[in-house]
Structure 1
Amino acid sequence: MSAPAGLIYLSTSLIATDYSIVSSLSTAHITTVGVKRPDFSTGGTPVTIQVNSFQTTVPNSKIYHYDVVISPSEKTLPARMTMALIRRLQFDIAPQLFTPRCVYDGRKNIFSIHKLKFDTGSQEFDVTLADESPSASGKGPKVYKIKLTLVAEINPEVLHRFIEGKASHDNTVLTAITALNVVIRMQPSLSYPFNVRSFFTDRETKDIGAGLELWRGYFQSVRPGIGKMLINVDISTGTMYKKGPLLRLCLEYIKKDHPNALSPLSGFPDRERLRLQRFISGIRILTTHVGPDGQKHTTPRVLKKLSQAGANKLSFSMRDGTTMTVADYFRQTLNKPLQFPDVICAEVGSGALIPLELCDVPPGQLMRKQVPPEKTKDVLDFATKKPLDRLQSIKNGISVLDYGQSEYVRQFGMNVNCAMGPLKVQARVLKPPVLKYGPGSRQPTITPRDGAWNMVDKKFFKPVSIDRWVVVVYEQQRRFNAQSAQDMINGLCSSCRDVGIKLTPTQFITWENGQGRIGDQLRAAGAACAQKMGKGPQLIVVILPEGGNDIYTSVKHFGDITMGVATQCLKSSKCYRAKPQYYANVCLKINVKLGGINTIPDPSSVSVLTDPHNPTIVMGADIIHPAPGSDGRPSFAALVGNVDSDTAKYIAASRVQTSRQEMIEELESMSEHCLSMYMRYRQMAEGKASGTTAPKRIIFYRDGVSEGQFKQVLEQELPLIRKACATLKINPKITILVVGKRHHVRYGRSSCYVITSSLTSSRFFPMSEREADRSGNCRAGTVVDRDVAHPTEFDFYLQAHGGLLGTSRPAHYSVLYDENNFSADALQSLSFALCHVYARSTRSVSIPAPVYYADIVCSRAKNHYDPQGTVDFSDSATQVDEGQAASSLEQFRRGFKPLHQSQSTLMYFS
């Protein structure tokens, strides 16, 4: 629907789209990667909510797609530099050719609303950076050759047809959506620091120390909805290096005041130099020199590393064959005597050494490394906003984006309807499952409210008995004495008694040194118990000091891997004079680690899971990849599956695999393990007849893959699951869902670098306080499968958890494969129910429990390595070449120890 001045006006009566148009279409010719949407769901209570999306029009005229090649370029140039080159080309080199202006994605693609008037299909231009001055050696600015080649003409009609459900999600559609994304990002990319999908302004900042500050950013992405094209807008956070003298930034990072703290002669340790080097390597710095024209010029450079010696100890050869120290050079040749000649130098890309005091850091530089752990809380505090505050920030972002003033948005004929505010959509709030507790509970069943419940007057569904356990304290005895330990034991025993666990007080308490051999200490504690009780302990409770992460890793390795004994770690600061609620939460973990079951969904409320005629195994799979630059480290894969008929008791399998390999390489053996354990448990523990133990349905939730990898899941992982079934001579029907929550999605296809919106960047906002929970968020169970969902494929958004701090993020589910022919209602209620069986809390979680468990198993992969072994997880062991990476992977495979057999049947990861 169009209106004067190109704006789209929506009346409130049109909030609910006429879905009969979509559903009545004949879609036989439409191809999809995943399952075609079978229906729209109807369950739950209808409610209108707002989402952080704004409707936009689609261009009416053709879009011309050009391939960009910039040379010479031995390696990929930073997007900041390529954007500057294309800007120079359009505004200064050939403005008559590039009017109206084209849009550029910073990589390989330029899109134009008009066909560029080249003599042939391509043309090459010579371009220099406008701000490059002659170097100190007198060389002129570097000349780049930019070649543009027409590769495609895009008819926007394909987008109209696609959002109406009349066209397939093919390469043409993907490229057209990419073009629109590049259009809306062009103006902000020229005006602000950016990071592909987000840009950042200094209108709202926070100094967090360590040479860093946080800037408020805005994420924006064009994506298709049902019957409409949308721009999704959200706030983000950028971590920036502080502008100003590099010397000051370095001192702040190492927490020192005097510049000579950076002098090796004053005791600056080499390990601290390397830590600082990792922090600032790649940063852009500005230096000032006098050119051949006698004028001062500011030259941008990239810092590669830091020198091992100070400026007065570093010598280099002059052109006449003599040697000179860096300090002498700056004093004698450049007439710049150094204030701090003992301080180390910055080595830049050309190999030149520049004293830190002569370097400045320009503003707006994103730190593209991991935030120091001690600063994580500061980042979270800045990033966390209550729903109404976040919605207001998003509206503020719209004014910053100012789509109406962007020449690029106007030229491409996109009109964004900001006047109507965020899109209003029809949602529904699903009914939560009824949860069942054990005998002796005053309240045997409970219906969660706003995603939460409590354990008052309730006994675990299947509590365990523990009569042999030991306590090992790694906190200093003066801080955590015998009385503190006894108070902890009494508090834990009391809480266990309340939930049905039989835990007798223990006399086995030892204090150990965390610098010692953790494995020997735990074995000694276990041996003392075995000597007196006749058997080793069932549980080792470990009290950790602050900063005891290394001790924790060692405890988990020797407990889960070597000894086969359940361990429960407690922080001394948390359990010192702790309240019963703290120990109640500890009991949730202990019970399942020793084979108990905390709660189950009542069979009557989740018939999809508990149908005795269709026994069902639910699996969760995930992969975790090493941090950027960590080329010597592998990826880790995990698969988790239930073994019981109530989908409350899970086991896990984990593997090492090729670094950054997205598909799970050993899924066949991992699936075979989970399936065989399921059948064994049903026969041995539940007493099912041998012919009825096999699952008839597999529901496979896959985390950690983007849209561009959906096809790979179907082509590579689905056959491996089927092979595992064939090996076990079973033939269950398989359903595969991808669940996404944490990431913005980026992927490439063919020669075009395609950027799609994150299907997990959508946020839900209630229309009024009456429709919100206590945190101001939409209520747990809010589900959306209309308006903002995929035009043709089976997907939905589900916000399964109650809000705590900030704005809750719904998970996005895409159904890739479904032999079970589930309805939308069935899969939504099933997924919501699975968010309630996470054993470690009495709250529903944001994604199904098996997916959550798989994520935990991945993150704990390092526990499988001997802490006293040779495998190195430190930051310094990351830069390796290709040959070393292959050797390193093999080393990681060999060093990966399997779980102890006694732990392989238990929820050790809780």
Structure 2
Amino acid sequence: MSSSPVDYSSKCVMFPARPGYGIVGRKCLIKANHFTLQLVTTIHNYKGLYHYHVWISPQVTSMKLNRDIVKELGTLNYLGNVRVAYDGRNTIYSVGELPFSSNEFILKFPTTKTTTTTSECEFKVSIRFVSRIDLCNPQSFLHTIQPLNVALRSAPSEMYSVVGRSFYHDTMSRAGELGDGVMYWKGFYQSLRPTQLGLSLNIDVSAKAFYEPIEVTDFIFKNFNVRYNSTPLDDHVRVQLRKNLRGVKVTCRHLDDTMLFKVFGVSTEPLNNLMFDLDGNTISVVTYFQDKYEIQLEYVTWPALQVGSATKPIYLPIEVCRIVERQRCCKKLNQRQVTNLLRETCQRPYEREETIRQIFRQNNYNDQNLVRDFGINVANDMTLINARVLPPPLLLYHDTGNEATANPQLGQWNMINKKMINGGHVKSWTCVNFSHENPNIHNRFCDELVNMCISRGMAFQTAPVIPSRAWPANEIEEALKYVHDQCNMILGNKQLQLLIIILPDFSGSYGTIKRVCETELGIVSQCCRPKHAAKLNNKQYLENLSLKINTKVGGRNTVLSDALNKRIPFVSDVPTIIFGAAFTHPKPEDYSSPSIAAVVASMDWPEVTKYRALVSAQQHTEEIIQDLYKVTTDDKGSIVHGGMIRDHLIAFSRSTGAKPHRIIFYRDGVSDGQFNRVLLYEMDAIRKGTSRPAHYHVLFDENNFTADALQVLTNNLCYTYARCTKSVSIVPPAYYAHLAAIRARCYIGVAVDEEETDVGPRTYQPLQVINGNLKDVMFYV
């Protein structure tokens, strides 16, 4: 089989003109977290804006070190007393020319000591003139945003830790624990944006996870709920510890605090079995630390940290290592950490406004020398804009409940006295409990959960296929496959429908469970945290689980009244399919794993509540969905047309009995600068395939939507999100695509041997295919 890449569109596609402004809803005046900018370029000492390219050799990955190097050039007066705005990578902007058009400098610059670099390094810095930027030329409007943005970020970049477009520091506000050795810092997001009112500085609050600067032994205690009792760590704990600590920097209490080590792995053997060669003699690590540093090691049955290479391993006893402070946690947070982060950072609007104002005052932009040099003046007040509050839609539930409708208030409603509009059928299920602390909760918990599902309108078999039971947390794959096989032996030619899983007490197993269930076994699973499963009186938790289970097994929780009565403009008049697309990209420290694209599409009309998902892996950090449309050749050399769009359209026709006459496509994750590229590539692929408060841009419209029709449709869809009885700020098709993309990342395993510890690109297993049993259900919610 061979495939051809998607080409640029051969048809002329242009951004549609705005059809007008909406009038539906209650008018109001709101404050936006935008501070408008004025450019004062007429001041007598303004000398024009200049763009330079900079190279630093050897290449430096740390933007902070890059900034320190360029700052040193200014300190040494190599830049002619001209203040520059530097983006931390390859670009310098200055007001006025530098005293050269091209030059090279050699600097000896102190760097942090590590196992691989010395305390001082020589850098060659090359600077070359690129162009002069005219701020007054409307045609170069977009080009002016970048230098102004860099200038506004210059001072914060020196004061705070920079993460993307956000800034953090443990002194900005009170830090807090998230659990498992991870803490959060509060910070702020900052970006210069073009708006209808001109340029404005967008500022918002943000929070990020950092490692607690604690002893590695304490990190283990917090992560795995173990206490040292002279027994080795369980193998599954050791493997998870390697994942949690890989890439984390540590210091050692027996060495200089400036000496940093990056953890590449953990030893397969306990510390008391580790030997190495010293001056021709074999010596144990334990004896070496006793003789060399007079340290009597205690945790000798635990593994050691590996900070060397596979060929030249360097072992450090866990108990002498401490995690370096102010170190960002780039790994995916577990559910408990996410919950804690959301709870700690949730603010009411007036609290958020005051926080943003405080950030603005602290940064004092208009008094920054570089900002003044660039002729920037930032308004002191937030922008006031006209807005409208759209009316909520009427939601329908089953008429066998005491209440068959819901009128959301402030974006919320509840399931009291209501039953799901289409309750799903669960005829075969069982439960697996991996919790060590709660080994006996599964039977009572499942009884309560089944009763909740039945009370909300589902047809649910009360007895499991085989008795629910507890399993060791280090036997997850074996347990899932065993239970699946045992159930299917009893069911004969039928399949197990649902597996309820009580998760282990420690994090890190969720992805494995979903990968096994959804790619190998082909069964829907519902995971539950043990601490919630133990609280049998938590009716809200049980109700939310019932909503998810009903959706996963093919039911509907609610529908829009206007959908069933065919009163939704541009949707109800003809068969309409609604798409959503989103990406997940690898973490910043991951340079080799693929990006995951997900495309979902509605499979029911006129209800538009059920969304089928397709996922694909593509080149690392690629932003354009490559598999929307594909042309391949089969074994006989015949051309085969395919791709995600075509696959979904065929499934829609099979599900509804009608071919779609209209397509609405919500594409998430497109920045302003990518609009043209997305339109050229993806619009053409869609055409070929057919033959928070969120900000939406219309990139293409053949349906001649009115502003009201599109706004009301988007708003109403936000009330159909299946996982809760609340409206959401991201339209569900895009939200579901995001969930599907996140889920698919669980299917990509790292092909790493136990002994592999070298840094560098890792080999990833191919994206595993979703089992055919699940392709037409919303398994990902």
- How would you bin the TM-score normalised by the shorter chain? 0.7 to 0.9
**1:607 paired to 2:568:** yes
Letter in 1 for 2:500: V
**CA displacement 1:825-863 (0-9 Å, x = unmatched):** 221111111112223322222222222222222233367
Partners of 1:58 and 1:393 in 2: how far apart?
A: 26
Name the structure 2 match of 1:749.
Answer: none
Quick one: which amino acid aligns to residue 53 of structure 1? Answer: H
Deviation at 1:818, TM superposition (A): 1.2
The 3 A distance-change label for structure 1 pair 362 and 492 is closer
Query: 1:9: which partner in 2?
Result: none
Residue 416 (structure 1) aligns with:
378
Correspondence for 2:469: 512
Q: Deviations over 1:57-78 (max 9, x none)?
A: 124142111111122x1x3341
**2:778 paired with 1:904:** no
Kindly provide the amino acid, as one letter, of the partner of residue 679 in structure 2. Answer: L
Distance 2:221 2:666 in 1: 45
Q: Please name the residue that 2:65 is paired with.
A: 81
SS of the aligned residue for 1:812 comes to coil
**Which position in structure 1 is the counterpart of 2:218?**
252
**Contact 2:251-2:324 at 8 Å conserved across structures:** yes
The structure-2 alpha-carbon separation of the partners of 1:444 and 1:667, relative to structure 1 and needing over 3 Å to count, comes to same
Q: Given residue 205 of structure 1, which amino acid in structure 2 is its aligned partner?
A: R
Contact 1:639 1:670 in 2 (8 A): yes
TM-score scaled by structure 1?
A: 0.69
Task: Report what 2:175 is aligned to.
Answer: 206
Residue 222 of structure 1, CA deviation: 1.5
Corresponding residue for 1:51? 32
1:128 and 2:108 correspond:
yes
Paired residue type of 2:202:
N
1:272-296 Cα deviation digits (max 9, x unpaired): 499469637463869999xxxxxxx
Give runs of aligned pairs for residues 827-866 of structure 1, distance below 5 A.
827-861=710-744
* Match in the other structure for 1:175: 143
In the alignment, which residue of structure 2 is the partner of 1:782? none
Letter paired with 1:179: P
Contact persistence 1:239–1:366 (CA under 8 A): yes
TM superposition shift of 1:401: 0.7
Instruction: Give the one of 210, 216, 222 matched to 2:192.
Output: 222
Which residue type is aligned with residue 150 of structure 1? F
Q: What CA distance in whole angstroms lies between the structure 1 residues aligned with 2:263 and 2:746?
A: 34
User: Is 1:392–2:354 an aligned residue pair?
Assistant: yes
Deviation at 1:347, TM superposition (A): 5.1
DSSP-derived class of the 2:221 partner: coil
> Are 1:675 and 2:653 an aligned pair?
no
Letter in 1 for 2:584: I
Paired with 2:203 and 2:704, the residues of 1 have a C-alpha distance of 34
Aligned match of 1:65: 51
Counterpart code for 2:174 = T
CA drift of 1:873 comes to: 9.4
Percent identical pairs in the alignment equals 27
Q: In structure 2, do the counterparts of structure 1 residues 586 and 541 end up closer, same or farther at CA, with 3 Å as the change threshold?
A: same
Instruction: Decide whether aligned partners of structure 1 residues 705 and 310 sit closer, same or farther in structure 2, where only a CA change above 3 A counts.
Output: farther
Shift of 1:864: 6.4
Paired letter, 1:81: L
Structure 2 unaligned segments of length 5 or more: list them: 1-11, 630-642
Instruction: Give how far 1:437 is off.
Output: 3.1
In structure 2, distance between residues paired with 1:473 and 1:242? 33
Q: One-letter code of the match for 1:254?
A: I
Aligned to 1:540: 498
Is the alpha carbon distance of 1:552 and 1:39 closer, same or farther for their aligned partners in structure 2, counting shifts above 3 Å? same
1:18 alignment partner in structure 2: none
Distance in 2 (CA, whole Å) between partners of 1:55 and 1:552 is 45
**Who is 2:678 aligned against?**
713
Supply the RMSD in Å over aligned alpha carbons.
Answer: 4.6
**Structure 2 equivalent of residue 108 of structure 1:** 90
Given the superposition, is the C-alpha separation of residues 300 and 106 from structure 1 closer, same or farther in structure 2, using an over 3 Å criterion? farther
Q: Deviations over 1:859-909 (max 9, x none)?
A: 3336769xxxx9769999897877x74xx4xx525x424322xx4333344
Report the count of equivalent residues.
725
For 1:813 and 1:876, the matched residues in 2 are separated by 48
The equivalent of 1:640 in structure 2 is 600
The residue matched to 1:816 in structure 2 has which SS? Answer: coil
Of 390, 402, 412, the residue aligned with 1:430 is: 390
Normalized against structure 2, the TM-score is what? 0.79
Residues 489 and 462 (structure 1 numbering): CA distance in 2 closer, same or farther, change over 3 Å?
Answer: closer
Cα 1:899–1:860 change in 2 (3 A) is farther
Is residue 211–residue 249 contact of structure 1 (8 Å, CA) maintained in 2?
no
What code does the residue aligned with 2:50 have? Y
Say which SS state the counterpart of residue 648 (structure 1) adopts.
coil
> Closer, same or farther in 2 for the Cα pair 1:134/1:63, shift >3 Å?
same
For structure 1, the residue ranges without an aligned partner over 5 or more in a row are: 1-30, 162-166, 290-296, 684-692, 727-808
In the alignment, the residues of structure 2 paired with residue 153 and residue 589 of structure 1 have an alpha-carbon distance, to the nearest angstrom, of: 57
Q: In the aligned structure 1, how far is the partner of 2:470 from the partner of 2:250?
A: 45
Assess if the C-alpha contact under 8 Å between 2:609 and 2:720 holds in 1. no
Rounded to whole Å, the distance in 2 between the matches of 1:715 and 1:521 is 49
Over 3 Å counting, the alpha-carbon distance change for 1:362 and 1:852 in structure 2 is closer
Deviates more, 1:388-397 or 1:855-864: 855-864
CA distance in 1, matches of 2:715, 2:234: 53
- Is 1:155 matched up with 2:114? no
* Closer, same or farther: CA 173–341 of 1 in aligned 2, 3 Å: farther
Per-residue Cα deviation, 1:132-174 (whole angstroms, up to 9, x for no partner): 79999xx99533222221111111113xx4xxxxx5xxxx433
Q: Please say which of residues 842-851 and 379-388 is displaced more in the overlay.
A: 379-388
**What CA deviation, in whole Å up to 9, does each residue of 1:326-364 have, x standing for no partner?**
9999999xxx84545799688589x99797899988754
1:83 Cα deviation (Å)? 0.9
